[in-house]
Structure 1
Amino acid sequence: MSIKSKLRRLYYSCFHASQKLLGYPRAHKVFMTFHGYPLDLENPLAHNEWIVHKMIKDRNPLLVETADKVRVRNYVKRKLGKELSDQVLIPVYHISDSVEKIPFSKLPEEYFMKANHFSGANKLVTSNDKPSEIQKLAKSWLDSTYRQKDHEWAYGQIKPRVLFEKVLRTPNGKIPQDIKFYFWHGRLKMILFVEDRYEDMRWFFCDENFKEIKGAQVHDVKGADEARIPTNISEMKELAAKLASDFDYCRIDLYEIEGKIFFGEITHYTGGGCWQFSDINTDYVLGQFWKKENLDKNYFELYKEFEKSNNFQPIN
């Protein structure tokens, strides 16, 4: 570990210690700014409150392993076995902790470059990209931390690396649909279908039975009219459930091309507790799934119950 990295870790250790001593004032301020209601860390109710609670309180080492885009591959192998994991893991061309070690001459014309310790740090690289610019971007990722001031603990425990991954494409040359499965205590309760991420991105949220959850849409993202459901969606659900079984909450991202399933990532801090749902009541309803006693109910049953509570806010 470099001196710079050691100093960075020391700084954030001191930062987190001071925030804990003061009652996490930054987390409270950021939360109020995004949502307009106060954060309750002791008795979280809304889903976003639970996410922040998890970031600050949960120190399960599996969070670190599965948030790491390199080490998560070993987790997938343990959970699914060698034969199935070999089928679903996307081929990786190279993994490096230094930009000087990137073997450009051995890489294909296109690939995804990703940072293993970030959420959202990925670039589709083509022959039009200059190696010097790719190195510059990779170095910026390797030298950076991810949301440590926002208490996303797991990312701060990961050794920074960049990986170079095969680009999945459908027969017509498009990036495949991204299907995100939301689990609470191992039970699937919501699915997000993401279409045309790199062209005209559209989202469709639904429950486990594909009934649309309109209130889960977030600002600045277009909604899709319907979900494009793969014929092997049941198999995808089962695979995702195996990967989610160790956690109180997580999101499992999968892809599907002509019946073949591919693993994307496991996410624990969705939105960092900052996603603003189009219906604030959805935030509270999804929060009820963090309590095991509600797992036999679906989203719409819980929504009807929540309508009768004092916290319900009528939508205009």
Structure 2
Amino acid sequence: MKKYLWQHTKALLSKTSPELYVKNRFKANLGYSPNFKNPKTHNEHMAKRRFSYTEQMTLLSDKIAVRDYVAKKIGDKYLVPLLFEMDSLSETIYNKLPNSFVIKANHGSGFNLLVKNKLDYSFEKLKQITNNWLETKYHLLGMELHYKNIKPRLLVEELLLDEEGKVPKDYKFYCFESKKYLGVYVDRFVDTRVAFFDEKWEPADYPFIFKEVDDPREVKKPENFDEMITVVSKLSQPFDYVRLDLYSVNNRIYFGEFTFTPGGGIDKFKTYEKDLEWGQLWNKN
């Protein structure tokens, strides 16, 4: 009953006072009150997006709709091969699934499952998992309202693995108009750690609280790094800030996703000063 009432309350707040909800959760998580009229820190800018967003942010946050945008912007060669898209998982589609694949819901973050062996997931089990995704009103979890108007659907993509048969590194580009940073996330789903670089592949201080690799210089620079920079430079326009995720498999780049409010807009920096420094990178024009 309490969970139902809280969900009902958040649904009401999303229509009447989303800014108030975001402000209260922001202070509870980060320890200072945000100024949304004149945001100065990175987190203030991002948190404001949770209730003040554009239709384009909604479009590009939809993991199905974004594929057409990316194809037109940089070419479909950067898209992970799509096997199926559907309103819900049917037994007919389940029977057609290959032995390995990735299944996702399109309307939020964290709705994904890497399947290396289909025999590990019966139709009933996979149906239950995906139905739970579809029934979740993701935009209410953190009041990230740019997800609100995305119709929940499922997509199945080819499972990308590196030359060692492992899940590939995740290249997360933090893109400002004047500067770009890159977090390389290694050993994903096992012992995830990050190495942080600038756009010239020079090691940089990772600003957030997260487990880091011991020596970022041991993380090999991908041969197609310059192409990655070109890709994210094109895709990140015209946004003041967006995080863009890419993968590189067999020296081929694949688009991952756009994220406009990473960490729900309340990523914890190591220091307030770094939060403020990143806030100054936003284009004020």
Asked if these proteins are the same fold (TM beyond 0.5), I'd say yes
**1:250 positional shift:** 0.8
Match of 1:93 among 83, 90, 93: 83
Match of 1:198 among 176, 179, 189: 189
**1:77 positional shift:** 1.3
Structure 2 residue 22 is the aligned partner of structure 1 residue 27: yes
| Distance in 2 of aligned mates of 1:53 and 1:94 | 35
Residue 33 of structure 2 is matched in structure 1 by: 38
**1:12 positional shift:** 6.6
Task: Summarize the Cα distance change of 1:31–1:150 in structure 2 as closer, same or farther, 3 Å threshold.
Answer: same
Range with greater deviation from structure 2 (153-162 or 102-111): 102-111
Structure 2 residue 253 is the aligned partner of structure 1 residue 258: no
Task: Summarize the Cα distance change of 1:102–1:37 in structure 2 as closer, same or farther, 3 Å threshold.
Answer: farther
Range with greater deviation from structure 2 (40-49 or 95-104): 95-104
**1:205 positional shift:** 2.0
Please list the CA deviations of residues 209-233 of structure 1 after superposition, one character each: whole Å capped at 9, or x if unmatched: 23333341324x3445214310110
Please list the CA deviations of residues 73-94 of structure 1 after superposition, one character each: whole Å capped at 9, or x if unmatched: 00001211xxx32x21011111
The 5 A counterparts of 1:130-209 are 130-148=122-140, 150-185=142-177, 187-209=178-200
**1:292 positional shift:** 5.0
Preserved CA contact (<8 Å) 1:46 1:283: yes
| Distance in 2 of aligned mates of 1:102 and 1:122 | 20
SS at match of 1:171: coil
Runs of 5+ in structure 1 lacking a partner? 1-9, 294-316
Please list the CA deviations of residues 160-210 of structure 1 after superposition, one character each: whole Å capped at 9, or x if unmatched: 00111111011210111111111123x442111111112221111222223
One-letter amino acid of the counterpart of residue 110, structure 1? S
Residue 5 of structure 2 is matched in structure 1 by: none
CA RMSD of aligned residues (A): 2.1
Task: Summarize the Cα distance change of 1:98–1:237 in structure 2 as closer, same or farther, 3 Å threshold.
Answer: same
Structure 2 residue 66 is the aligned partner of structure 1 residue 66: no
Structure 2 residue 70 is the aligned partner of structure 1 residue 79: no
Structure 2 residue 23 is the aligned partner of structure 1 residue 15: no
Runs of 5+ in structure 2 lacking a partner? 1-7
SS at match of 2:138: coil
Question: Percent identity of the aligned residues?
Answer: 31
SS at match of 1:217: coil
| Distance in 1 of aligned mates of 2:187 and 2:96 | 29
Residue 233 of structure 2 is matched in structure 1 by: 241
| Distance in 1 of aligned mates of 2:138 and 2:169 | 26
Match of 1:103 among 84, 93, 105: 93
Give me the TM-score of the superposition, normalised by structure 2: 0.89
Task: Summarize the Cα distance change of 1:32–1:11 in structure 2 as closer, same or farther, 3 Å threshold.
Answer: closer
Task: Summarize the Cα distance change of 1:256–1:163 in structure 2 as closer, same or farther, 3 Å threshold.
Answer: same
One-letter amino acid of the counterpart of residue 162, structure 1? L
**1:102 positional shift:** 5.7
Count of aligned pairs: 275
Task: Summarize the Cα distance change of 1:91–1:224 in structure 2 as closer, same or farther, 3 Å threshold.
Answer: farther
Preserved CA contact (<8 Å) 1:67 1:266: yes
